[in-house]
Amino acid sequence: MNPKIKIVIVGIGGVGGYFGGLLAKKYQDSDEVAVIFVARGEHLKQIQKNGLKVIKGSDEFIAKPALATDNANDIGIADFIIFCTKSYDLEAAIAQLKPCIGEKTSLLPLLNGVDAVERIKKNLPNATVFQACVYIVSELKKAGVIENRGNIQTLYFGLEQEINDQLLLFEKLLKDAHIEASCSNNILSIVWEKFIFISATATATAYFDTCIGELLKENPTVVLKLIDEVTQIALAKGIKIDPQIAQKTLDKLKKLPYETTTSMHRDYKNLNSQTEVMSLTGFVVTHGQSLNIETPVYKKMYEKMRSTKINIL
């Protein structure tokens, strides 16, 4: 008998909890696939005891992974590892999961920002790393409970200019679990379009301390300026971006529930000790400087957010 395909999800928050929950539900009794959660603290204890509750609207289910642990040595070599940590936790997660990474392991970072692959390759130069991004409004409600509150939950991944058997297998595993997943060989453009969306939105919601509905009502012009500045960075880096990216981004924002906000905004409101402001806002400012591109709106907002007592990483 062939060994089970091991899918490891690291970080069982809004993103990892929702997609990991669907995977665990689908393959709970499978003889071919094992889904493993890597979590910590009280959240891990609740998952180990009761499973992971996933809520979407009036629907909910309990997902029971093959294993939930905080010790990578319990897992063995994985076939796929999905990193769903916050951007500032990526290096620690890589170090933690090194015992699970073999020659044939494929890594998938579902993080905010556009530099995750580069950062993983810096630590694991020979690893197979898929580019990826997601559109989802989901959060950890309390220990053991994930709630998806949005009307979009799509996952894109791939390797630039390449489609191989491993990518197609992963796409099938995801789709069979009823995940809206698409494999693309034009993934860099997709990832950057998502970055334009989340960078502008996270920066503005955190700066104005407001939800997306209120942001579009009170400060739509500022949002458009942010979109334009980050788009100029992408174009200068040779990324192909849809000429209608500003309207596409606004259309996506308008489809979200009025009260939707961003994880970076929630981090500021909750006075968390770390935020993703370097990955989502500072990245645009520093790359603008290196490319001789002016980013005055990003720079103003970044300087204000850096002046808070929150530790910027």
| The pLDDT value given to residue 162 | 83
Average pLDDT over residues 258-269: 90
Least confident of 23-27, 124-128, 158-162: 158-162
The proportion of the chain whose per-residue pLDDT surpasses 70, expressed as a percent, equals 97
Extract long-range pairs of 204-208: CB within 8 Å, 24+ residues apart.
Answer: 204/301, 205/261, 205/262, 205/264, 205/265, 206/262, 206/264, 206/265, 206/267, 206/268, 206/275, 206/277, 206/281, 206/301, 206/305, 207/301, 207/304, 207/305
Distances (CA, A) of 226 to 31, 37, 265: 49, 36, 16
Please check the confidence at residue 223 and state whether its pLDDT lies above 60: yes
Q: Give the rounded distance of the alpha carbon of 162 from its chain centre.
A: 22
Rounded to an integer, what distance in angstroms lies between the CA atom of residue 253 and that of residue 245? 12
Q: Give the rounded distance of the alpha carbon of 117 from its chain centre.
A: 12
Q: How confident is the model at residue 101 (pLDDT cuts 50, 70, 90)?
A: very high
Level-2 CATH architecture, domain 5-185 = 3-Layer(aba) Sandwich (3.40)
Least confident of 75-89, 178-192, 251-265: 251-265
Domain boundary assignment for the chain: 5-185, 189-305
| The pLDDT value given to residue 273 | 74
| The pLDDT value given to residue 109 | 96
Fold of 189-305: N-(1-d-carboxylethyl)-l-norvaline Dehydrogenase; domain 2 (1.10.1040)
Contact 53, 60 (CB under 8 A): yes
Dihedrals φ, ψ of 13, to 5°?
Answer: -95, -145
Is 0.75 topped by the overall pTM? Answer: yes
Rounded to an integer, what distance in angstroms lies between the CA atom of residue 307 and that of residue 225? 22
Please check the confidence at residue 313 and state whether its pLDDT lies above 60: no
What's the whole-number average pLDDT of the chain? Answer: 93
Please check the confidence at residue 295 and state whether its pLDDT lies above 90: yes
Average pLDDT over residues 17-31: 97
Please check the confidence at residue 308 and state whether its pLDDT lies above 80: no
